[in-house]
Chains A and B, each alone.
Chain A
Amino acid sequence: MTVLLFGVTKDIIGSSSLSIPSKSVTGKNAPSTVKELRDFLSNLYPDLGNLSSLAIAVNNAYAEDEQPLNTYDEIALIPPVSGG
């Protein structure tokens, strides 16, 4: 599962995308909903969990927490940015 990173999420994680290995690689279940993905990432990167607002796109559409995820989905983290 590949997650594209934008804005501060790129800074927090330190790269422009993140690969989440599937169960066949790690033996652990990959996140199966948007909520599980949020929890998974917040555990690894507490600063992500601390963001007041963080939009998650699944296949180029804003996804609510309960939306299920498939390994082939294209996911992106879109945080607010403020500069002008």
Chain B
Amino acid sequence: MNRYLRQQQLPGFGEAGQQKLAKAKVLVVGLGGLGIPVVQYLNAMGVGTLGLVEKDTVALHNLQRQVLYTERDVGKSKLAVALEQLKAQNSETHHVGYEAFLNTGNALEIISEYDVVVDATDNFPTRYLINDACVILNKPFVYGALQGFEGQVSVFNHKGGPTYRCLFPNIPKGTEIPNCNENGVLGVVPGIIGTLQALEVVKVITGIGEPLSGKVLVFDSQNHRYFKMAIQPKPEYQTIQKLLESYGATDCVQVPSIKADAFLKVIAQEVHPAIIDVRSRPEYQMDHLSQALNIPLDDLALPKSLQEQKTSIYILCQSGKRSEVAVAKLQESHPNLTFYSVLGGMNALNLEETRKA
């Protein structure tokens, strides 16, 4: 019995498509929410060689979206657990594990061994590293990325098509885009985006259909918006000669924070809660808490009245990003005071209020 019968029966795929998969070497960077569905499907479908790059261990809070791992695996190496599962799923695949994070020292050597690369990472520095290494080595790569309820998918550097830098030329600075799992991901969304990445890998390898090259798909799961944007290649980003010295730190900065519901209780209890709203003046004027003092992030300085504050000072913005930055800055300039960033900002407070009403 041929295990690939069902896909070989497909007109346009056939035995020829299966042969191409069997000969293909695919590297998957990251075995998290995106990487797991990618490796499970590519492994099941008969990709000949699967390379896996991951150095993390399984954490309990991974399990809501990284569905290959079980409760028994918490604390174990993701790579080891995944390799064991994938070997049991398909003994014909040649699996190659790299117990490492991709970095400027190993990227070119590892990627050079493969035909297609899958960017299933969770941080910008590694995404830009993968892009640059694939451009240098002339390898196509399938990009997927998430935020909250949304995801993006594209095929970059494929047959002269645009690269990641043609879409987003510059690496975002540390704090401007939510960069950590702590910002939240709905468990099923990486499953959808990762599965789309696996599909694109199969299309690139076998030549069926039209790979998502020259366009990026943006998917919003909340209302099923599927937005596609065409992208043109830019020659200046197709001729990268060498990697950058450094792609910056991949770590997330954590500051003390308070959830919206807990914060609402605090302001209901305290007579004069110290709240600083760090949004711009127009944003503040549109809608703000009556107790909140407006000091836009760009002019952030603690007023005299708060410099000897005995109780906590709460920092608020629209979504909880700027308040994080503000808390980090204020902690540095006023190490003796206590600051909290209000998680989710005004968006979360408004949601809480609506829920109560």
Q: Which residues of A contact B (CB under 8 A)?
A: 4, 6-8, 11-14, 16, 44-47, 50-53, 55, 57, 60-62, 76, 78-84
Tell me which residues from 21 to 50 in chain B have a Cβ below 8 Å from any Cβ of chain A.
Answer: 30, 32-35
With the chains together, A8 CA to B172 CA distance in Å? 12
A6 touches B150 (CB 8 A): yes
The 28 listed contacts between A and B (C-beta, < 8 Å) are A8-B147, A11-B321, A12-B319, A14-B318, A14-B347, A46-B297, A47-B318, A51-B176, A51-B177, A55-B229, A57-B227, A57-B229, A60-B228, A62-B167, A62-B231, A62-B232, A78-B218, A80-B168, A81-B147, A81-B177, A82-B147, A82-B177, A83-B122, A83-B178, A83-B179, A84-B35, A84-B120, A84-B190
* B127 proximal to A (CB < 8 A): yes
B34 touches A6 (CB 8 A): no
A51 touches B172 (CB 8 A): yes
Residues of B within 8 A of A13 (CB): 318
B230 touches A60 (CB 8 A): yes
Residues of B within 8 A of A50 (CB): 176
A6 touches B220 (CB 8 A): yes
Given A52-B170, A52-B176, A55-B167, is A81 in contact with B150 using a C-beta cutoff of 8 Å?
A: yes
With the chains together, A46 CA to B168 CA distance in Å? 19
A80 touches B173 (CB 8 A): no
Contact of B123 among A4, A8, A47, A82 (CB under 8 A): A82
A47 touches B176 (CB 8 A): yes
B170 touches A81 (CB 8 A): no
B230 touches A62 (CB 8 A): yes
What is the minimal beta-carbon distance from B226 to any residue of chain A, in angstroms?
A: 11
* Most-contacted residue by chain B among A47, A51, A62, A83 (CB, 10 A): A83
With the chains together, A80 CA to B176 CA distance in Å? 10
- Quick one: CB contact mask for B105-130 with A, threshold 8 Å, 1 for yes? 00000000000000011111001000
Given A52-B170, A55-B168, is A80 in contact with B220 using a C-beta cutoff of 8 Å?
A: no
* Most-contacted residue by chain A among B176, B220, B227 (CB, 10 A): B176
Residues of B within 8 A of A44 (CB): 280, 282
With the chains together, A7 CA to B185 CA distance in Å? 12
Residues of A within 8 A of B30 (CB): 84
With the chains together, A44 CA to B232 CA distance in Å? 29
What is the minimal beta-carbon distance from A50 to any residue of chain B, in angstroms?
A: 6
Q: When A and B form their complex, which 4 residue pairs have the shortest distance between CB atoms, in order from nearest?
A: A11-B319, A84-B122, A53-B168, A81-B147
What is the minimal beta-carbon distance from B279 to any residue of chain A, in angstroms?
A: 9
* B144 proximal to A (CB < 8 A): yes
A82 touches B218 (CB 8 A): no
* B5 proximal to A (CB < 8 A): no
What is the minimal beta-carbon distance from A5 to any residue of chain B, in angstroms?
A: 10
B170 touches A53 (CB 8 A): yes
A8 touches B220 (CB 8 A): no
Residues of A within 8 A of B145 (CB): 80-84
* Most-contacted residue by chain A among B144, B147, B185 (CB, 10 A): B147
Residues of A within 8 A of B71 (CB): none
Contact of A76 among B169, B229, B319 (CB under 8 A): B229
* B70 proximal to A (CB < 8 A): no
* Most-contacted residue by chain A among B35, B177, B318 (CB, 10 A): B177
Residues of A within 8 A of B168 (CB): 52-53, 55, 80
B172 touches A78 (CB 8 A): no
* B133 proximal to A (CB < 8 A): no
Residues of B within 8 A of A79 (CB): 177
What is the minimal beta-carbon distance from A78 to any residue of chain B, in angstroms?
A: 6
Residues of B within 8 A of A53 (CB): 167-170, 172
Given A51-B176, A53-B169, is A84 in contact with B230 using a C-beta cutoff of 8 Å?
A: no
A8 touches B176 (CB 8 A): yes
With the chains together, A69 CA to B243 CA distance in Å? 37
